[in-house]
Amino acid sequence: MRTDQRCDTMASTQDSAQPVDATRRSWVSTMAMGTGLVAGYGYFANIAAQFLYPAAPDPRAWLFVAVADQIEPGSSLNLKTPSGQPMVVMRQGEEGTDADFVALSGVCPHLGCMVNWEPQNNRFFCPCHNGAFDADGHAIQGPPHASHQTLSRFPLKVENGLLFVQVSMVNSGNHA
Ligand code: FES
């Protein structure tokens, strides 16, 4: 092969490679731009949807628990809410008012074991890791105390001698 013939071949190879590279670069940049546009529009569509259709508020209801006088001072009831949340209702006083009662989550905030009211020790006790809580649900012993955890509290009321507890109708875990 002659030298001038070899140069012609190399030149033609470089000429044909340039349009392929340019086409590939163009395709990649178009895809990147398209992906960016789709992501951007999706983000703003999500914000618009949240503004136009806000999440429904947590539906709550008053749940009848018991005739107030049927719960002796110092005793407790273990219940489950309609959404399946364990709850402990405990009576502390003898006035027959809301202040006599406390309704707490029956689920230990440490790792989710069930707590029980111990009237002889005036505490809620979790047997899994010897966690304990006072009558208001504040941790006083064990891992929950080290982590400053409390038992979630349910609002309650006594009306016409009947005890009611306000509960969520949505199953959202261990929270009251
Ligand atoms: S789960 Fe209750 S103390 Fe660990």
For atom 1 of ligand 1, which residue has the closest CA? 111
Name the pTM for this structure. Answer: 0.66
User: What per-residue confidence (pLDDT) applies to 99?
Assistant: 94
Residue 26: enclosing H or E segment and its boundaries?
A: helix 3-52
- Residue 86 in contact with ligand 1 by CB distance below 6 A: no
Domain range 60-168, CATH architecture:
3-layer Sandwich (2.102)
pLDDT value at 174 more than 50: no
Q: How far is the CA of 114 from the centre of ligand 1 (A)?
A: 8
Q: How far is the CA of 140 from the centre of ligand 1 (A)?
A: 12
Residue 115's closest CA among 73, 151, 166, 164? 151
Closest ligand 1 atom to Cα of 144: 3
CA 43 to chain CA mean position, Å: 23
pLDDT value at 2 more than 70: no
Answer with the residue of higher pLDDT: 18 or 158.
Answer: 158
Answer with the residue of higher pLDDT: 32 or 19.
Answer: 32
The residue type of 160 is N
Q: How far is the CA of 144 from the centre of ligand 1 (A)?
A: 7
The residue-averaged pLDDT of 103-121 equals 96
Q: How far is the CA of 99 from the centre of ligand 1 (A)?
A: 28
As a whole number, the mean pLDDT across the chain is: 83
13: which 2 tokens? 């190879």
39-59 pLDDT per residue, tens: 666 665 666 666 666 666 678
- Residue 142 in contact with ligand 1 by CB distance below 6 A: yes
Distance between CA 67 and CA 21 in Å, rounded?
A: 83
